[in-house]
Amino acid sequence: MNTILVTGGAGFLGSHLCDRLIERGDDVLCVDNFFTGSKQNISHLLSHPNFELLRHDVTFPLYVEVDRIFNLACPASPVHYQRDPVQTTKTSVHGAINMLGLAKRVQARILQASTSEVYGDPQVHPQPESYWGHVNTIGPRSCYDEGKRCAETLFFDYHRQHALEIKVMRIFNTYGPRMHPNDGRVVSNFIVQALKGDDITIYGDGQQTRSFCYVDDLIHGMLRLMDSPAAFTGPVNVGNPNEFTMLELAENVLSLIGGSSKLVFGPLPADDPKQRQPDIALARQALDWAPKVELVDGLKETIGYFKRLFD
Ligand code: NAD
Ligand code: UDP
Ligand code: UDP
């Protein structure tokens, strides 16, 4: 049996990952400081004999014995990561150093949850892994973008300097059940607004694009990457290449939920990327992975989750 450390395991993606690992018989140590995650996301796992929860902040050292590490700890929504930007950079950078130091000591393979934000507001479309990005170093998103970029640098330096087995996954916008209702990200915002009959808040003119991946597809890709041959380090894009404008997303959500919500237009946040679509040729070839869930089907599952939450 493998003992697997999941940092950020009580968050949206982390809790789904813990579910899949427990299902396949792994021993899971979930580490989280509950900054954005919640015990509710993992409450169904607490009594499982193979599951253990530890409240801990990854910016502090952690001494445990594990075989593999998934490093997901970091707030992901712009609203949350901008609330305490210094802590966001510390989580990405000090957190990466501590988890890499741990991986080095116990000779564990380690996967980093990186992000499409390393491409910034991209001038190449769609974005292949070879694109170095277009990122502001001093804006309100920089704590997240530059923190994640520095974490990638640390991963590759530990790989070259200490022969650590690393996997760097560039995750594109992912949605699904267990997103926090006040998370601030677009899919949860639109669904919660439509369910409550509130106005749908479009930032800017709604013509900016994102490509949305359903959580089950994403976690499948993450497990494929962790289990890939040692020589494959990434970085590798994992996401759904179907691209939508925020207006199209709002129309999709409204047509599934119905109701009387109106679209209202507000200011576009600073440095908001205008377009984003993953080039997933590498994931297809190296991991034999591609997303399967269509946006409407994933939205139906997510809407069902929020309906149950508000009942
Ligand atoms: P989330 O906010 O739901 O989960 C992050 C988890 O990390 C939370 O449980 C939070 O409490 C925990 N955490 C934050 N700081 C911590 C710290 N210092 N120590 C310990 N735990 C800490 O977000 P998510 O969507 O599940 O994202 C998970 C990871 O995937 C993040 O690293 C994020 O950057 C990355 N990612 C997510 C997306 C996406 O669309 N969901 C896209 C790109 C990258
Ligand atoms: N570290 C940790 N757990 C471990 C081993 C190391 O948290 O099991 C932390 C340790 O506190 C250190 C960091 O990881 O600050 C980097 O460790 P490394 O061995 O690479 O560097 P050094 O200890 O030489 O600074
Ligand atoms: N957005 C929006 N209304 C909202 C929340 C977000 O129009 O209520 C826009 C946001 O400006 C961005 C896109 O939706 O252009 C995706 O935002 P999100 O915060 O989900 O993710 P990210 O910008 O990190 O991709």
pLDDT at position 311: 86
Q: Ligand 2 center to residue 101 CA distance, Å?
A: 4
Tell me which residue of 167, 277, 153, 185 sits closest to 222, measured CA to CA. 167
Judged on CB neighbours under 10 Å (0-12, 13-18, 19+), 153 is exposed
pLDDT at position 151: 99
User: For the residues 170-195, what does the mean pLDDT come to?
Assistant: 96
Q: What's the whole-number average pLDDT of the chain? A: 97
pLDDT at position 203: 98
pLDDT tens string 26-75: 999 999 999 999 999 999 999 999 999 999 999 999 999 999 999 999 99
- Tell me how far apart the alpha carbons of residues 5 and 27 are, in angstroms, rounded to a whole number: 9
Q: Ligand 1 center to residue 135 CA distance, Å?
A: 20
User: For the residues 107-117, what does the mean pLDDT come to?
Assistant: 98
- Tell me how far apart the alpha carbons of residues 156 and 235 are, in angstroms, rounded to a whole number: 10
pLDDT of 102 strictly over 90:
yes
**Residue percentage of the chain with pLDDT more than 70:** 100
- Tell me how far apart the alpha carbons of residues 242 and 250 are, in angstroms, rounded to a whole number: 15
Query: Quick check: 116 and 128 in contact, CB under 8 A?
Result: no
Nearest-CA residue for atom 5 of ligand 3: 186
Question: Which listed ligand is nearest to 267 at the C-alpha?
Answer: 3
pLDDT tens string 193-238: 999 999 999 999 999 999 999 999 999 999 999 999 999 999 999 9
Q: Ligand 3 center to residue 308 CA distance, Å?
A: 24
Query: Which single residue is written with the structure tokens 């409407």?
Result: 296
Provide the token pair at 273. Answer: 């990327």
Confidence of residue 1 (pLDDT cuts 50, 70, 90): confident
Provide the token pair at 77. Answer: 């929504």
* Alpha helices by DSSP H, the chain: 12-23, 78-81, 85-106, 142-162, 186-196, 215-226, 246-257, 281-287, 295-310
For the beta sheet containing 68-71, the strands, ordered from the edge strand earlier in sequence to the opposite edge, are 51-55, 27-32, 3-7, 68-71, 109-115, 166-171, 236-238
pLDDT at position 259: 86
pLDDT tens string 122-169: 999 999 999 999 999 999 999 999 999 999 999 999 999 999 999 999
The structure's pTM equals 0.98
**Triad 152, 91, 111: Cα angle to 5°:** 40
Which one of the listed residues 63, 81, 131, 144 is annotated catalytic?
Answer: 144
- Tell me how far apart the alpha carbons of residues 87 and 93 are, in angstroms, rounded to a whole number: 10
User: For the residues 265-293, what does the mean pLDDT come to?
Assistant: 97
Question: Which listed ligand is nearest to 277 at the C-alpha?
Answer: 3
Q: Give the DSSP H or E segment for 278.
A: none
